[in-house]
Structure 1
Amino acid sequence: MALRLGGLGDLDPEAVPLPNGTEVTTRVDRLIDGTSEGELRLQGATGRVAKLEADRVEVVFLDGKRATYLRSEVTPRKLGVVRYAYRRAAAWEQLRPCVVIDTVVGSRAWGVSDVGSDEDRRGVFVLPTAWTTGLVDPPLDLNSLDGSQSYWEIGKAVRQALRADPNTLEMLFASPEVVDPMGAELIAMREGFLSQEIYGAFGRYALSQLDRLEHNQRLAEHRVTIIDWLRVDPSLELDAA
């Protein structure tokens, strides 16, 4: 028996937040961005949110082309996405003040940014006691709508640091801003997270990036075939490619 989500009748798919990467369906025809020939992408096309600015949503399609829509012109493709987006937005609003470490990471942290570079932040937050005593598991991650800010619950951050997670170690060592004394305690013990695990963790990360590059290259080579598949069966998932 298929699992059905309940309690979605009160949610407006046209008003729900759309984090980067959300799979959406377009509701109007729109010209592809940057095409001199005026290529038209018909309504009903499926893509993922690449960028969100005010009421404008930039959508990237499977073939890599992009188009910009008003927020009211796209809707989440799956109802479950609507519920998840509401929960994610509510957690961000209520727990963002609980951040104890806030670190600028990426290109701006290492002095290789340019004028167009985004400011990415990672950090740590502490759950209020009331969030830890209920029957529902509390969120262990906080993510801003545009994806530029990500924070881990302190216990999760410690577990990640113990296994030498590259992103977590960068957050702890790249000039972190201590927002609360609880964050200062974690920074004080950061040297204890340095171990031989770093060799394996960073090595695996580098290899995963190579695999990703090779996968994208293979995907580009067969993009025309994939688009033909979608023309025949538009219900195929993006991840199925």
Structure 2
Amino acid sequence: MAIEGPQLPVGTQVVLRVAGSDDVGGTAQRGATGRISGVTANGRYDVRLVDGRSTTARRDQLSLRTAYQDEAIEVAAPDVLVRERTIYAAVVGSRAFGLDTDASDTDTRGVYVAPTEAFWSLAKPPTHVDGPEPEWFSWEVERFCELALKANPNLLEVLHSPLVVTCKPLGQELVDLREAFLSQLAYQTYSGYVLSQFKKLEADFRRDGAPKWKHVMHLIRLLLSARTLLAEGKLVVDVGDDRERLLAVKAGALPWDEVERWRLGLHEDLDRALQKTVLPATPDVAKVDAWLRSVRRISVA
């Protein structure tokens, strides 16, 4: 049985969230500390405890050591916030981009609203939650707005995904507000990220003879999306007619030089689009802030 979701690497320091049997017939107590030493055939983690004993545990029975103390004073379980207070969620990634294959994961991203009173507590609600379902990641609404206002592509695409999973009334208000997040900051965030990542990919190419082609494909896709955003003032998630060429990049079917020319041409397109863009220089922070304040007022438990 394979482990669902991101795996904990061997050597990761963890804390047991529940007691369990050890390898010498005793009990590994809740709160015991150890390191991941492997994965069992049935999908559990082998944990080597600090006293030399070993035990096994499921992922949900383990906490990262660095997070355990924070979890100990949590008032509300993060899973509850996602399950009960999500206002919007959508599928992102290859399925939303129109680049999916039979082997593609279904990646879902959501936004939840923590009760306003939770911010008055010693233990503040989490700014994000990984889970509770596999490939599901969520942000608390305030953190989501902060990152989206900075033109973070991952968050902007959530609001423009054609594959909506959940949309409550507050979620619809957030979607209706999505144009307020768009600005010329996208030029820096999109092109800057691609430039930094391509430097790493070029190093991979020189060292290994080939880059990570799937990553290359998604970087080109980001530039295509940014070009439309700057030129037309709208964010289009589906790649449309570029699908086959992008999948050829993913398969490593295009020579690196051709991909590099495509990338450089797209950067030039972005430069030209920026000169004529209809997007404002900065996002409408006041409009988003006013909406967030209204959400906090009506979310007093």
Q: TM over 0.5: same fold?
A: yes
1:227 is matched with: none
**Displacement of 1:90:** 3.4
**Displacement of 1:25:** 4.5
**Displacement of 1:131:** 1.9
| Matching of residues 118-197 of structure 1 within 5 Å | 118-144=105-131, 148-175=135-162, 176-197=164-185
> Residue 90 and residue 136 in structure 1: after superposition, are their counterparts in 2 closer, same or farther (change >3 A)?
closer
Assess if the C-alpha contact under 8 Å between 2:81 and 2:112 holds in 1.
Answer: no
Distance in structure 1 (CA, Å) of the matches to 2:152 and 2:181: 10
> Residue 56 and residue 181 in structure 1: after superposition, are their counterparts in 2 closer, same or farther (change >3 A)?
same
SS of 1:23's equivalent? Answer: coil
What does the per-residue CA deviation read over 1:186-219, in whole Å, with 9 as the maximum and x for residues that have no partner? 1111011111101111112212322443565688
> Residue 158 and residue 133 in structure 1: after superposition, are their counterparts in 2 closer, same or farther (change >3 A)?
same
**2:6 aligned with 1:20, yes or no?**
yes
Distance in structure 2 (CA, Å) of the matches to 1:55 and 1:145: 20
**TM-score, normalized by length of structure 2?**
0.47
**Displacement of 1:85:** 7.7
Assess if the C-alpha contact under 8 Å between 2:79 and 2:129 holds in 1.
Answer: yes
> Residue 80 and residue 161 in structure 1: after superposition, are their counterparts in 2 closer, same or farther (change >3 A)?
closer
Distance in structure 2 (CA, Å) of the matches to 1:111 and 1:117: 11
> Residue 72 and residue 198 in structure 1: after superposition, are their counterparts in 2 closer, same or farther (change >3 A)?
same
**Displacement of 1:19:** 6.2
1:198 is matched with: 186
Assess if the C-alpha contact under 8 Å between 1:76 and 1:82 holds in 2.
Answer: no
**TM-score, normalized by length of structure 1?**
0.57
Q: Relative to total residues, which structure has the larger strand share, 1 or 2?
A: 1
**Displacement of 1:20:** 1.9
Q: Which 5+ residue runs of structure 2 have no aligned equivalent?
A: 13-21, 24-34, 47-54, 210-301
> Residue 25 and residue 122 in structure 1: after superposition, are their counterparts in 2 closer, same or farther (change >3 A)?
same
Q: Which moved more, 1:77-86 or 1:140-149?
A: 77-86
Distance in structure 2 (CA, Å) of the matches to 1:136 and 1:83: 11
- How high is the sequence identity, in percent, across the aligned residues? 31
Distance in structure 1 (CA, Å) of the matches to 2:165 and 2:143: 19
> Residue 113 and residue 202 in structure 1: after superposition, are their counterparts in 2 closer, same or farther (change >3 A)?
same
Distance in structure 2 (CA, Å) of the matches to 1:195 and 1:211: 26
1:80 is matched with: 66
**Displacement of 1:156:** 0.8
Distance in structure 1 (CA, Å) of the matches to 2:66 and 2:182: 40
When the two structures are aligned, how many residues end up with a matched partner? 175
**2:102 aligned with 1:115, yes or no?**
yes
Q: Rg bigger for which structure?
A: 2
What does the per-residue CA deviation read over 1:144-192, in whole Å, with 9 as the maximum and x for residues that have no partner? 1675111111111111111100000010111244521111111111011
1:225 is matched with: none
Q: Which 5+ residue runs of structure 1 have no aligned equivalent?
A: 1-16, 29-43, 60-69, 222-241
**Displacement of 1:98:** 0.8
**Displacement of 1:136:** 1.8
Distance in structure 1 (CA, Å) of the matches to 2:204 and 2:155: 26
Distance in structure 1 (CA, Å) of the matches to 2:63 and 2:113: 33
Assess if the C-alpha contact under 8 Å between 1:142 and 1:152 holds in 2.
Answer: yes
SS of 2:146's equivalent? Answer: helix
Assess if the C-alpha contact under 8 Å between 1:164 and 1:193 holds in 2.
Answer: yes
What root-mean-square deviation, in Å, do the aligned CA atoms of Structure 1 and Structure 2 show? 4.2
What does the per-residue CA deviation read over 1:49-72, in whole Å, with 9 as the maximum and x for residues that have no partner? 8xx9x951599xxxxxxxxxx954
**Displacement of 1:95:** 3.4
SS of 1:152's equivalent? Answer: strand
